[in-house]
C-alpha cells in the first residue's frame, strides 16, 4: 500500500480543489499517515499558497496527528486547559477542543458558544506558525469554522490607512481565550492598557512568502501603544471593519475525519456556536513559530 502511494505520488500532481472563497483548498485522495517527501513538499507549498488546507476522510490516531504535524516543524505544548489540566497523559502537544463533559469534568476547552475571530496564541511572544485541527465528533449543525485571509484584508486597506499603521504595534490580549474564558493564572481586566499580552507589529511580513498581512490577533483588550485609548479603539474598529468581508473568508462545514491545517501567521478563524447538548470533539496540534512576528 505504501509502495503504491509512493508510486502514484512520483507521477501525479496533487489533486487540489480550491474552496472558491477568499482562501483555502481541499487536497483530495491523500492518506496523511503515508506521504513521501515529494508529496509532503507539494502539500507544504499548497499550504503556503492557499493558507488553509482541508483533508477529508482521514483516520488518525493521536500519535499520527502529532507525527504529521511535526513534519512542518517542532510542536508547541498545548496551553493549559480551562480546568487547569493538560488532558492527554504523555501527549503534551495535544489540545482538546470540546464541549463534552464526562463524569462531571469537561474533556476539553472552549465550550459550545461562539468563538470570535482570533489568531491562535498570539498573546505569546512567538506565536505558533500553524495549527492543525482534526475532527473526531461534530454536531449535526453549527460549530463550523470560518477563516479569513489577512493578506487580502491588508491589501484592501486604503493607502492612507496603510501608511498610518506602518510601524505601529498592537497588543494581543492574553486575558481571555477565544471562547471568552479567562486564561489560567490571569486576573481579568477589561482595560486594554493594563491587560497582559504581547506586542506585535500591525503589519506582519510573512517570513516564508514575504507578503504583508494585517496582524490583529483578537479584538477584545487590543491596544495600540502610544495612542490614547479612544484613538486606539477607533483605529482598531476601523481596521476590524475590513475583516468582515465575504470575499476574504471561507467556512469549513466539518465532517468527522476532517483535518484542517491553517497558517496562523496570515489568517484568523472563528467558530459558530452549536447546541450545547450535542457532542463536538476536536484534537489540535500547533507548530512552533520561527521567531517573533516582524
Binding of Fe ion at residue 120 (CB under 5 A)? yes
| Residue number with CB closer to Fe ion (171 or 271) | 271
User: Which span sits near Fe ion by CB under 5 A: 3-11, 44-52, 118-126, 140-148?
Assistant: 118-126
**Min. distance of Cβ 220 from Fe ion in angstroms?**
14
CB 140 within 8 A of CB 153: no
How many residues lie near Fe ion (CB under 5 A)?
A: 1
DSSP annotation of 181: P
**Min. distance of Cβ 97 from Fe ion in angstroms?**
8
Binding of Fe ion at residue 76 (CB under 5 A)? no
CA angle centred on 117, ends 157 and 79, rounded to 5°: 130
User: Which span sits near Fe ion by CB under 5 A: 4-12, 79-87, 112-120, 256-264?
Assistant: 112-120
Distance separating alpha carbons of residues 102 and 31, to the nearest angstrom: 31
Phi, psi of 3 (to 5 degrees): -65, -40
| Residue number with CB closer to Fe ion (182 or 234) | 182
| Residue number with CB closer to Fe ion (9 or 173) | 173
Q: Which helix (H) or strand (E) holds 97?
A: strand 95-98
> What residues have CB less than 8 Å from 289, skipping those under 6 apart?
126, 127, 128, 129, 264, 265
**Min. distance of Cβ 268 from Fe ion in angstroms?**
9
Cell of 164: 498610518
Binding of Fe ion at residue 26 (CB under 5 A)? no
Distance separating alpha carbons of residues 294 and 291, to the nearest angstrom: 8
Q: Closest residue (Cβ) to Fe ion?
A: 120
CB atoms within 10 A of CB 37: 10
User: Which span sits near Fe ion by CB under 5 A: 52-60, 113-121, 224-232, 237-245?
Assistant: 113-121
User: Which span sits near Fe ion by CB under 5 A: 13-21, 46-54, 116-124, 143-151?
Assistant: 116-124
CB 289 within 8 A of CB 131: no
| Residue number with CB closer to Fe ion (110 or 214) | 110
**Min. distance of Cβ 120 from Fe ion in angstroms?**
4
Cell of 86: 493538560
Cell of 229: 485609548
| Residue number with CB closer to Fe ion (39 or 118) | 118
CB 261 within 8 A of CB 115: no
CB atoms within 10 A of CB 165: 20
User: Which span sits near Fe ion by CB under 5 A: 66-74, 114-122, 141-149, 200-208?
Assistant: 114-122
Q: Which helix (H) or strand (E) holds 160?
A: helix 159-165
**Min. distance of Cβ 229 from Fe ion in angstroms?**
27
**Min. distance of Cβ 274 from Fe ion in angstroms?**
15
**Min. distance of Cβ 177 from Fe ion in angstroms?**
8
Q: Which residues bind Fe ion (CB under 5 A)?
A: 120
Amino acid at each position: 500500500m505504501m509502495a503504491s502511494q509512493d508510486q502514484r505520488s512520483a507521477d501525479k500532481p496533487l489533486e487540489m480543489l480550491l474552496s472558491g472563497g477568499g482562501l483555502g483548498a481541499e487536497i483530495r485522495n491523500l492518506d496523511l499517515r503515508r506521504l513521501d517527501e515529494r508529496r509532503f513538499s507539494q502539500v507544504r507549498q499548497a499550504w503556503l499558497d492557499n493558507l488553509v488546507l482541508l483533508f477529508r476522510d482521514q483516520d488518525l490516531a493521536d500519535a499520527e496527528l502529532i507525527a504529521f504535524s511535526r513534519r512542518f516543524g517542532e510542536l508547541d505544548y498545548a496551553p493549559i486547559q480551562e480546568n487547569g489540566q493538560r488532558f492527554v497523559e504523555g501527549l503534551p502537544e495535544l489540545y482538546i477542543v470540546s464541549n463534552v463533559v464526562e463524569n462531571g469534568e469537561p474533556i476539553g476547552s472552549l465550550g459550545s458558544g461562539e468563538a470570535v475571530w482570533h489568531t491562535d496564541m498570539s498573546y505569546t511572544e512567538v506565536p505558533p506558525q500553524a495549527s492543525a485541527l482534526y475532527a473526531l465528533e461534530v454536531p449535526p449543525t453549527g460549530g463550523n469554522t470560518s477563516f479569513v485571509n489577512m493578506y487580502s484584508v491588508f491589501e484592501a486597506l486604503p493607502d492612507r490607512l496603510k501608511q498610518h499603521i506602518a510601524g505601529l504595534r498592537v497588543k494581543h490580549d492574553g486575558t481571555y481565550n477565544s471562547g471568552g474564558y479567562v486564561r489560567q493564572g490571569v486576573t481579568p481586566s477589561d482595560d486594554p492598557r493594563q491587560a497582559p499580552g504581547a506586542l506585535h507589529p500591525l503589519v506582519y511580513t510573512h517570513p516564508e512568502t514575504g507578503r504583508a498581512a494585517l496582524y490583529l490577533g483578537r479584538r477584545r483588550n487590543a491596544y495600540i501603544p502610544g495612542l490614547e485609548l479612544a484613538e486606539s479603539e477607533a483605529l482598531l474598529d476601523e481596521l476590524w471593519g475590513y475583516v468582515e468581508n465575504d470575499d476574504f473568508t471561507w467556512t469549513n462545514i466539518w465532517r468527522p475525519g476532517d483535518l484542517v491545517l491553517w497558517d496562523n501567521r496570515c489568517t484568523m478563524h472563528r467558530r459558530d456556536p452549536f447546541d450545547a447538548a450535542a457532542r463536538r470533539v476536536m484534537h489540535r496540534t500547533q507548530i512552533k513559530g520561527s521567531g517573533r512576528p516582524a
